[in-house]
Structure 1
Amino acid sequence: MHDYLGHPFQAELSRELARRGHCVRHVYCSTITVGQGKLRVGETDSDRLSIIGMPRQGHRGSGPGTYGQDVGGLIRDFAPHVVISGNSPVPVQRHIQQTCAERGIRFVYWLQDVYSARAPSGEAGHHDEWERTARCEKATLLSSDAVVAIAEPFAVFVRQCGVPSENITVIENWAPLAEMECDSDDWAPARSDRSSGKHIFLYSGTLDDRHGADLLVRLAKACDARNSGVLYVVSEGTGRLALERARQLGIRRLQLYDFQPYDRVPSMFAAADVLLAGLSTEAGQMSVPSKVLAYLCAGRPVLAAIPSTNRAAQLLEETGAGLVVNPDDPDEYVAAAFALLADSARRQRMGEAGQQYARRAFAIEPIATRFEEVLVP
């Protein structure tokens, strides 16, 4: 199992497969700045599970290609019957697939994101880079023994690349319910605001130009103007810079924190009155924000500024677990946020609806059975 980003639910799948008697090596990149899951073997884990964090080397000429070669070396040493890989930069995914082909190892492409769906900018050289990425992504999909797509639009894209329908299985993402549910809402950073009766908006996760940092700035300014609500943003990297600049300009009701240790994430979610997600119109078709699924476990309402055609948006509307607004309409976003703050009964209904859905849909046993059918046909 290779999951470049080290997300929680992939690790849960590895644990369940090992519990069923499979020998599982779980590999992830240990040197990227994202919120990661439970990536240490615990006392209750099967002795058939190993977890390895691979650094992405920082010396000249390194990067995803070097990382892919290192993962390829692990594959050659471990000699598995099957490799499933996802969340990887396209060159990494291609190198892993080619390593498997050379060794006669079954390769399953877990399609979490379609990189070639991101339109190139107008800057010189970007279109050529995008074309290389698109060709490489398509070649890797065509060379895979099977593809797991996380939503039907992803499966449509894979079929359009020429992959036969019989090689494609749709298995929607989930969140590790047992790890995310929490009885305590005592998250230390928010303790003071909560004790003084302030309502809390919380955004947690990756934050770049696709995830609506500008909307968060607008919401923080509105909290100040209305003297109501506090926005907590838990993230790192380039997308946080706009928020740091806003705070330097004097926005008072904005709190910024680095990614939290995984065992504190459930209480962090539970400390919020409203959980926030964002995804640009451009990225909305071929990316499903996994944070929304984790949010559902927390029993809190979700405000999502994402396209209505995105699977996460559809899920929120189907379950009644939150509100979906146009990511290109900041006024609608701010209005929806404060409408939720003003209606505690509605927030409770939405939170309970999301949690009930998570308890029905996120049980790992049937999910793992579906993956077994793909991995060991």
Structure 2
Amino acid sequence: YVRPPLRWTLHHADALTAITDDCRQHALRAGAPEASVRLVFNGTDLRRFSPDENGADPRFGPRMIFACRQLFPRKGIRFLIEAFARLKPRFPDAKLVLAGDGFERPELVELAQNLGVAADVTFLGWVANSALPPYYRAAAVSVIPSLEEGFGIPAAEAMGCEVPVVASDAGGLPEVVEHGVTGLVVPRGDVTALANAIGTLLDDPALRRRMGQAGRQRALRLFDWDRTAERFEQVYRDVGARVER
């Protein structure tokens, strides 16, 4: 259902921008004219989110799994904790670090306790954007297990830090994470597939390194703030040119 004011806007705007093609398709199905909807990916500060071994947080060891997510059900952290519990017998030195907060936190803490992995799951709470890079850099893999997602900025942040990403196939995530190249994409809500993908990367440092390097290059090409600004500028120029005529 599209509210009437939004439907009017979709029909009458000189230009609309969509952060992924998935979002663009939603706008088109809601009635936006195809010519007016432009794809402009979200941007990330890739000078801040960059690889730097000396800038990594050393506390969590070589097999740290990192997720920067709000702790709400649609972000899928429950599935990540369940996958982590399945991986612990195979990777006893693995650690799970969660940055973010939300009303689901008490339930997730209880889940980790019930699954016997609470000692190896760290809930950081809210972390300022400027303080995130050391966690990404320390990670063997970054995970985005969302049930719903428009873009997935943490995927671009991780890629900027040369960290491979395991992401669900929710929303626009498969447009950000290139499956088999910069990470692995799995069906949303599939704990077995999620655990297998994370395990594949934890088990193969060379694959992690290769995917991480490819991710950095993809992020620079598509998700850097400068590229995003250029695309927005072009949208404004195109609209201005039409108005002048």
Shorter chain as denominator, the TM-score bin is 0.7 to 0.9
Structure 2 segments unaligned to the other structure (5+ residues): 241-245
Q: Does 1:181 align with 2:46?
A: no
| Counterpart for residue 243 of structure 2 | none
* TM-score for the superposition, normalised by structure 2: 0.84
Cα displacement (A) at 1:223? 4.4
* Structure with more relative contact order (C-alpha pairs < 8 Å, separation 6 or more): 2
The 3-state SS of whatever aligns with 1:203 is strand
What's the % identity of the aligned pairs? 23
Q: Distance in 1 between matches of 2:94 and 2:222?
A: 32
Equivalent residue number for residue 306 of structure 1: 169
- Structure 1 residues 215-268: Cα deviation after superposition (integer angstroms, max 9, x where no partner): 122133224444241111111002333321124444221111012222221111
2:160 is equivalent to residue 293 of structure 1:
no
Q: How far is the alpha carbon of 1:290 from its aligned partner? A: 1.9
Instruction: Give the total of aligned pairs.
Output: 235
Give the direction of change, closer, same or farther, for the CA distance of 1:318–1:219 in structure 2 (3 Å limit): closer
CA distance in 2, matches of 1:304, 1:215: 12
Alignment of 1:208 with 2:69, yes or no, is no
AA matched with 1:161: A
Report the equivalent of 2:24: 155
Query: Which letter does structure 2 place at the counterpart of 1:354?
Result: G
Which residue, out of 208, 219, 229, partners 1:368? 229
Question: For residue 182 of structure 2, what is the aligned residue in structure 1?
Answer: 321
> Does 2:103 correspond to 1:234?
no
**How far does the alpha carbon of each residue in 1:93-131 deviate from its partner, in whole angstroms, 9 at most, with x for none?**
xxxxxxxxxxxxxxxxxxxxxxxxxxxxxxxxxxxxxx5
Whichever of the two has the greater Rg, that structure is 1
What 5-or-longer segments of structure 1 have no aligned partner? Answer: 1-130
Pairing partner for 2:127 from 244, 260, 270: 260
In 2, Cα distance between equivalents of 1:352 and 1:368: 24
Q: 1: CA distance between counterparts of 2:157 and 2:20?
A: 17
1:185–1:333 Cα change, 3 Å: farther
Task: Give 3-state SS (helix, strand or coil) of 1:331's partner.
Answer: helix
- Give the drift of 1:361: 2.6
RMSD: 2.4
Summarize the Cα distance change of 1:148–1:261 in structure 2 as closer, same or farther, 3 Å threshold. Answer: same
Q: Helix, strand or coil for the counterpart of 2:73?
A: coil
- What are the Cα deviations for residues 154-176 of structure 1, in whole angstroms up to 9, with x where unaligned? 33332333333332221122322
Structure-1 separation of matches of 2:212 and 2:179: 14
